[in-house]
Amino acid sequence: MDYLRTLILLTLSIFINAIVIGSIGFFATSLIRRTSNEKPFIWWVNNGRKVIFPSAAILSLIYYYTDLI
């Protein structure tokens, strides 16, 4: 049962981390776009998933190995 609880918490952690990282990146690039040009925003829209999922998974593993989950 402990294994199942940990698996569910890791899955939720990855999902929540991805939402938070994606939101931060979206708002940061939107702010940069307003002040200068469109290139960072276009980069984030096209390539953001390459940054979001690995960083969300790494953060979740850090939570797991530091006994936060």
Q: How many CA atoms lie within 13 A of 56 on its CB side?
A: 22
Residue 45: φ, ψ to 5°? -65, -40
What is the identity of the amino acid at 66? T
Checking if the pLDDT of 65 tops 80, the result is yes
The tens digit of pLDDT for each residue in 11-32 reads 999 999 989 988 888 787 777 7
Question: Around Cβ 56, how many Cβ atoms within 10 Å?
Answer: 20
CB 21 within 8 A of CB 56: yes
Checking if the pLDDT of 41 tops 70, the result is no
Checking if the pLDDT of 44 tops 80, the result is no
